[in-house]
Amino acid sequence: MALLNILRYPDPRLHKVAKPVTVFDERIKKLAADMAETMYAAPGVGLAATQIDVHEQVIVIDVSDGGNELRVFINPEVLWASEEKRVYDEGCLSVPGIYDGVERPARVKVRAFDADGKPFEVEADDLLAVCIQHEMDHLKGKVFVEYLSPLKRNRIKTKLQKEERELKKSAANG
């Protein structure tokens, strides 16, 4: 297994739309395993393949307290979303250190495939529902900050670009 590089907002590659997985093979299993290792190490509760510059519809999620309930969603699709909405403070491994409220459906029913290509459906609420929707947005090329006001989004972009410049500068000065 390997730790993968997570793209940071506002990297334009985060806006690429992911393609469906058509072959369920060892490569997909390894991708899901490497994504899970990267997510746990970050640490986070979800990671979409888009965030590691792989533009295929693969998501890994673990919202358990013990970090021992990994779920792999391949080619996920929302079958149903509740009319009831809920605001949840979201964060993102591609937008480190930034958290803000995003309104989403409180409950969703999703169909997807696991890493072996077996179809399944899950009804989710609370953090799992938020995480599924957040990661599915990544597959569509959308980052959670796009739900925020243009002013907040620009402040976040400026802050992260400044941090990136400082990281590169300190790495160059070694």
Just list the catalytic residues: 135
Q: How many CB atoms lie within 10 A of CB 149?
A: 10
Rounded to 5°, angle at Cα 156 from 32 and 72: 15
**Residues 65, 3: Cα–Cα separation, whole Å:** 22
Q: Taking phi first (over 0 means left), then psi (-120 to 50 degrees means alpha), and beta for anything else, what does residue 66 get? A: alpha
Q: Which CA distances in Å does 78 have to 50, 89, 107, 170?
A: 18, 21, 10, 44
Residue 134 among known ligand-binding residues: yes
Residue 138 among known ligand-binding residues: yes
Residue 55 among known ligand-binding residues: no
**Residues 161, 16: Cα–Cα separation, whole Å:** 20
Binding residue positions for Fe cation: 92, 134, 138
